Amino acid sequence: MTETIQLALKTLEAQLNQPLETALEACARCGLCAEACHYYRAEPKVEHIPAFRAEQLRSVYRYEHDFLSRLFPVWTGAKKLDEPMLANLTEIAFSQCTLCRRCTVNCPLGVDTPLMMRAIRAMATASGTAPEILVMLADAAIEKGKDPSFYKEMFLEQIKEMEEQLRDVTGDENATIPVEKQGAKILYVPLAGAHTILPPAVVFNAAKEDWTLSIFEASNYGVFLADVNRAKQVAKRIVDEANRLGVKEIVIAECGHAYASYRWDVPNWFAGQFDFKVRSLIEVLGDYIREGKIKVDPTAIPEGVTYHDSCNLARNGGLIEEPRYVLKNVAQDFREMTPNKDEAICCGGGGGLVALAEYAERRIAAGKPKADQIKQTGAKVVVAACENCRLQIGDINEHYNLNVKTTAITDLVVRAMRLPKPLPGHEAEYLFEGEGAAIARE
Amino acid sequence: MSEAKLFLDFKGLLCPMPVVKLAQAIKQIQIGEMLEAVATDPGVMADIPAWTRTTGNELVTLEKREDKTIRFVVKRAK
């Protein structure tokens, strides 16, 4: 047995607990999971049935844990793990499952196939066979946490420039983007780019919030690798920052996996050091509108708007009504996709897939059911509160000629706030509107 | 003008996509050769140095230009 296989099996053994063993033992092979999976709906073949994917790991588990299977593997379909099998398992777990959990909620026994896919991802990561780019992105994030000084000066310069843009678009000379503000109520954690800093800054300033911007990004590629050690190191940067600044609350940018991990996993990983409320930025927007802290024009967006439920926010995070509350307050013509909410179909970009160029063709093919749903709404704007979903919807928009615009909820809220000037890069959106067009021309 | 063997246009790409594309593109040049790229997302100011530190490649230049684009040159070291 090679060292790679030893490491993979050792990792499988280390993960075996009641939920994983139940998932490995409980399948009734009824096949009801097939239609739940966007891969199967896009291309109905046996390899795309979640139970078939799970069976590949179950065969290894049986060989290792069932005496009869070890003696007569052919009878029970048990297989001894070898390198080609590990490569096949790795490909299945990283390219044919987005961990969306739609199969789980549609399984009569509640078999958690994504949990098994996570187990394979962990085996691949530990044995050095996981996709290199995900490992690289996780390690780069950890590096930032070890010594932020190598980029902090440049980061602060960028924030100063964004602050000038903020003052320009809002007309508020006192608008600020505070960084490392001791004792602030909220630590807002963006993604890496300006598009997740400037629009929320507009909202926080309008609501006169006591907030501060994190110097780290919310994304956590350790989560996609199912590597708890790496994922903890990435999250620790923000936990330490929140503790150092003494904030009360951590607010996560519009990002599916980051919200799910900070809401559900991180408080357990850092039990005793994590005394913070965690909210998504969407919940904050909803509260500001409800409490009248920000004023939005309900007629600001006349185009048909539809909402894509990110799996990590809706099915796995419980954020179902809040985005709809916000959108119904800013969009005149809100249209639901069918099915939606906790039964929403995955866009195909989750689980880190959008970062894996080698699987791009497969990812776009798996996005067909979502493209069909979007087409059926007739909407011109597709809103998604997750960066990976937006990237994927952007790609399927191009591939399936959907002719839609993809945007974040915060961008629409800011547009409905009727700023004196549009945000940089958002000028074209104002041309949809009579009044906005006039503003843009001035 | 640098002596880059490969020129990449990352304008309009949002982080982490510039790093993802850079990681793929670096394999197209030989060890000791350089690539040059232009991006617009300010996130690259942190992401590119972090990536070079992690991978052991050399960040030769990282600069913000007057037109607000960000130019960087990376030398493949591994």
Grade residue A92 by pLDDT with cuts at 50, 70 and 90.
very high
Measuring CA to CA, which residue among A440, A258, A387, A352 is closest to residue B41? A387
Residue A437 binned pLDDT confidence (cut-offs 50, 70, 90): very low
> Distance between the two ends of chain B, CA-based, in angstroms?
24
Question: Is B77 a residue of the active site?
Answer: no
Environment class of residue A84 by beta-carbon count within 10 Å: exposed (0-12), middle (13-18) or buried (19+)? exposed
Smallest Cβ distance to B43: which of A142, A193, A391? Answer: A193
What pLDDT shows up at residue A194? 85
Q: Are A407 and A277 in contact (CB under 8 A)?
A: no
- SS3 for A361-378 is HHHHHHCHHHHHHHHHHC
Which is nearest to A390 in space by CA: B54, B4, B17? B17
Q: Could you say which of B16, B46, B55 has the minimum Cβ distance to residue A155?
A: B46
Least confident of A11-20, A57-66, A362-371, B12-21: B12-21
In A190-311, where do the E strands start and end?
Answer: 211-213, 249-252, 277-280, 301-308
- Cβ neighbours of residue A421 closer than 8 Å, sequence gap 6 or more: A168, A169, A171, A439
Share above pLDDT 70 across residues of chain A, in percent, rounded to a whole number? 96
Helix, strand, or coil here: A402? coil
pLDDT over 50 at A431, yes or no: no
CATH number of A296-441: 3.40.50
Distance from CA of B60 to the nearest CA of A (A): 14
CB < 8 Å to A193, chain B? 14-15, 41-43
Which residue would you say has higher pLDDT here, A270 or A423? A270
Q: Say what the pLDDT of residue A438 is.
A: 38
Q: Residue A43: phi, psi to the nearest 5?
A: -145, 90
Tell whether B45 lies on the interface with A, counting CB pairs under 8 A: yes
- Give the Cα separation of A404 and A381 in Å (integer): 5
User: Mean pLDDT, to the nearest integer, of A341-368?
Assistant: 96
CA distances from A413 to A11, A74, A128, A285, A419 (A): 45, 60, 43, 8, 11
Cα separation of A284 and A402, whole Å? 31
Question: What band does B3 get if pLDDT is binned at 50, 70 and 90?
Answer: confident
Non-local (6+) Cβ contacts of A85 within 8 A are A56, A60, A79
What's the pLDDT score for residue A336?
98
Any idea which of A64-78, A319-333, A390-404 has the lowest mean pLDDT? A64-78
Cβ proximity of A247 and A278 under 8 Å: no
Tens-place pLDDT, residues A244-299: 999 999 999 999 999 999 999 999 999 999 999 999 999 999 999 999 999 999 99
Retrieve residue B10's tokens.
Answer: 């990352």
Q: What is the CATH number of domain A3-130?
A: 1.10.1060
Q: Is the pLDDT assigned to residue A356 strictly greater than 50? A: yes
Both tokens assigned to B41: 């997302």
Tally of CB atoms within 10 A around A184: 20
Please give the average per-residue pLDDT across A35-54, as a whole number: 97
Residue A273 has a pLDDT of 93
Q: Does A32 touch chain B (CB under 8 A)?
A: no
* pLDDT, mean of residues A416-426: 88
Closest residue in A to B41 (Cα) is A193
- pLDDT at residue A363, as a whole number: 97
pLDDT of residue A352: 95
> What pLDDT is stored for residue B16 in this prediction?
84
Catalytic residue among B4, B5, B6, B15: B15
Cα separation of A104 and A117, whole Å? 12
Distance CA B56, CA B51 (A): 8
**Partner-chain residue, chosen from B24, B46, B51, that has the shortest CB–CB distance to A154:** B46
- Residue A195 has its nearest CB partner, among B14, B19, B64, at B14
Q: What is the ipTM of this complex?
A: 0.87
Query: pLDDT tens digits for A182-236?
Result: 999 999 999 988 889 999 999 999 999 999 999 999 999 999 999 999 999 999 9
| DSSP class of A77 | T
- Can you tell me whether residue A187 is helix, strand or coil? strand
Query: Token pair for residue A147?
Result: 């010594």
CB of B58 less than 8 A from some CB of A = no
Cis ω for the linkage preceding A44 (within 30 of 0) = no
Sorted by where each starts, the structural domains of chain B and their CATH numbers stand as 6-75 (3.30.110.40)
**Cβ separation of B50 and A217 shorter than 8 Å?**
no
| A421 closest CA partner among A167, A102, A181 | A167
Q: What are phi and psi of A435, to 5 degrees?
A: -65, -45
Q: Where in chain A is the domain with CATH 1.10.1060?
A: 3-130
Given this model, what pLDDT does residue A114 score? 97
Alpha helices in A291-340 (DSSP H): 321-330
| Pick from A427, A435, A387: nearest CA to A407 | A387
Residue A311 predicted with pLDDT over 80: yes
Tell me what pLDDT residue A442 has: 37
Could you tell me whether strands B58-64 and B70-75 are parallel, antiparallel, or unpaired per DSSP bridges? antiparallel
Query: Is B25 an 8 Å CB contact of chain A?
Result: no
Q: Where in chain A is the domain with CATH 3.40.50?
A: 296-441
Confidence of residue B31 (pLDDT cuts 50, 70, 90): very high
Q: How confident is the model over A4-30, as a mean pLDDT? A: 96
Token code pair at residue A92: 């299945």
Which tokens go with A2?
A: 């090679």
- Of B14, B21, B16, which is closest to residue B50 (Cα–Cα)? B16
In whole angstroms, give the CA distance from residue A280 to residue A250: 8
Q: Which residue has the tokens 């594309």?
A: B21
Assess whether pLDDT exceeds 50 at residue A74.
yes
Residue A80 has pLDDT above 60, yes or no: yes
CA A96/CA A50 separation, integer angstroms: 9
HSE-up (13 A, CA, CB side) for residue A230: 22
| Coil, strand or helix at A305 | strand
> pLDDT: is A210 or B16 the higher one?
A210
| Chain B interface, best mutation among A147, A151, A198, A230, by max B CB count within 10 A | A151
How far apart (Å, rounded) are the C-alpha atoms in residues A377 and A335? 6
pLDDT value at A154 more than 70: yes
Closest C-alpha to A158, from B47, B48, B41, B72: B41
- Whether residues A194 and B54 touch (CB distance < 8 A) is answered with no
Residue A209, classed as helix, strand or coil, is: coil
Pairwise CB contact (< 8 Å): B14 & A154: no
Does residue A64 contact residue A80 with C-beta atoms inside 8 Å? no
pLDDT band of A432, cuts 50, 70, 90:
very low
Confidence of residue A440 (pLDDT cuts 50, 70, 90): very low
pTM of the model: 0.93
Is 50 exceeded by the pLDDT of residue A439? no
User: pLDDT tens across A106-120, in order?
Assistant: 999 999 999 999 999
